[in-house]
Amino acid sequence: MTILAGSDTTAFSLSASDAIWEELLCSRPTAGVHSVVHLVRRGLIKLTGSHIDYERNVQIVRSLIDEARGHTHVDGPGHELHARGEYHRITTSLGTSDVYVERVGNGEPLLAFSTAGSNTAQWHGLMTHTDVAGQYELITVDMPWHGRSSPSWASAVGSYSLTPDTFTEFIVAVCSSLALDRPVLVGVSMAGAAVIHAIATHPQRFAGAVSCQAGPAVHSRQNEHLRGTTVNPTLFIPEWTYGLMNPASPEEFKQRVWWGYSSGGFGLYAADIDSYLRWNFEDVAQLLTSESPHIALLSGSFDTSVPSSETQALAERIPNSSFAVMPELGHFPHAENPIAFATYLKNALERVTANSPRC
């Protein structure tokens, strides 16, 4: 089977075996055979003709595949979003920024950070469609330049950059500004690596961490179009990330993830990915011991960027840790299907409480 697209001047085709197309187009495809972008990258779907035209129009190809599959929906917008928004002026090596914070619920604090290039809106589904905020205070933070946080004062547009060390410095500064006493950290993807780094380097500041979609190191996340002008990044970046989710996750949540990645500032996602590529567990491995706060690692099976085997390998290197697979989730478990994620999160938090040393 082949998909053809083109005109008199541009054309591309996608061809694969009938077995690949049948799996890709079914309503609940198998993890690893669920994303046209991933299959093209692996060569299981052959791209011929204009690569640039494919990359400019991949959202059309993906949308057609989604329509052939059908959609899973969630019942309504959930309960009202009662997050309390506030600003805190934070000064670190990243500069001085008025940082936007959202808080909802009561109980033990969870200090949560989003994926590369995104913001607090990723956590809204967990606030509106689950009871997590009935058991914990969920505190979410926009990094400088992200979401509703300001750029660093007097910094040139495009000057934002991040490293694992400066990310941890920022996490510690936020904790201090909010006067949080040993919160549990929660992070996904880039932030999933960051919370491990923070636990390793500042074990007395935190009660533990839940790290999602992190591996020992990061590979194959660069692309010339993340900050290029040949292909529109506001279309390409959402498609670059969309295929990391389970197609069977609710359509309403998947579309919010897509929209979030279409809304970021130019070059912001690319700068975060540059930072993420610097992550190497070996840099902090010797700092983590059996006395370190517990780190609960979670992995969504549909994440082709950080396969579950890599997260499991990371967990095996961390002395006081646990590991669980989330078979129905992908790279954005907290955002693509917060209803399903809530159960895994609460179980992970129970493991953090049970296994972290008392201070």
- Reading the chain (359 residues) residue by residue, the pLDDT tens digits are 566 665 556 689 999 999 999 999 999 999 999 999 999 999 999 999 999 999 999 999 999 999 999 999 999 999 999 999 999 999 999 999 999 999 999 999 999 999 999 999 999 999 999 999 999 999 999 999 999 999 999 999 989 999 999 999 999 999 999 999 999 999 999 999 999 999 999 999 999 999 999 999 987 777 888 988 899 999 999 999 999 999 999 999 999 999 999 998 899 999 999 988 999 999 999 999 999 999 999 999 999 999 999 999 999 999 999 999 999 999 999 999 999 999 999 999 999 999 978 65
- Domain ranges in the chain with CATH number 3.40.50.1820: 85-220+265-355
**What are the pLDDT digits (tens) for 131-151?**
999 999 999 999 999 999 999
Q: How many CA atoms lie within 13 A of 155 on its CB side?
A: 17
Q: Which one, of 77, 79, 83, 85, lies nearest residue 131 by Cα?
A: 79
Q: Where are the alpha helices (DSSP H) in the chain?
A: 18-25, 36-42, 51-69, 124-129, 164-177, 190-201, 233-242, 251-262, 268-276, 308-317, 333-336, 338-355
pTM for the structure as a whole: 0.95
User: Which are the contacts of 152, defined by CB distance < 8 A and separation ≥ 6?
Assistant: 94, 95, 96, 97, 144, 145, 159, 160
Q: Which DSSP state fits 135?
A: T
Beta bridge partners of 118: none
- Give backbone dihedrals phi and psi of 14, rounded to 5 degrees, phi first: -120, 125
Within 93-152, strands assigned E span 95-104, 108-113, 136-141
Per the CB < 8 A criterion, the answer to whether 123 and 138 are in contact is yes
User: Which are the contacts of 167, defined by CB distance < 8 A and separation ≥ 6?
Assistant: 190, 191, 194, 197, 198, 275
Q: At what angle do helices 233-242 and 251-262 cross, to 10 degrees?
A: 140
Instruction: Give the Cα separation of 212 and 55 in Å (integer).
Output: 29
> What architecture does CATH give domain 85-220+265-355?
3-Layer(aba) Sandwich (3.40)
Per-residue tokens: 36: 């046209």
Per-residue tokens: 342: 């809530």
